[in-house]
Amino acid sequence: MKSITILIFCCMIAACLSAGLPDTKSVSAAESPRDDGVFVKHDVTSAVVRQKRAGTAPADPTVAQLESLKEVCEANLACEHMMDVSGIIAAYTAYYGPIPY
């Protein structure tokens, strides 16, 4: 039983060595991970956040969201009239500002 365990152990060592894993001494400085930490400069982060915000343009509102806007707009007769003529999004933004979602 001991001989089988030693044989399996030796096979595992041989497989690991033949896998071509680089040892820690042969890794060049360009390939080694940098130890900068998790901090990033402020101008870089603001650019990333700006891109993310620009990339998340408001999609088409859902039916529930349109219903909510319609209920708000129906309380104002002028907004309700504009809603019938120009549409709910145009009427809501004209009377109440940008859509909150």
Q: What is the pLDDT of residue 12?
A: 80
pLDDT digits (tens, 9 = 90+) for 19-74: 765 555 555 555 555 655 666 677 666 666 665 554 444 568 899 999 999 999 99
Is residue 15 scored above 80 in pLDDT? no
pTM of the predicted protein model = 0.43
Is the model's pLDDT at 94 over the cut of 60? yes
d(CA 74, CA 83): 9
Whether 67 and 89 have beta carbons less than 8 Å apart is answered as no
Lowest mean pLDDT among 3-7, 14-18, 37-41, 56-60: 56-60
DSSP state for residue 19 in the 8-state scheme: T
Contacts of 78 (CB under 8 A, 6+ apart): 95
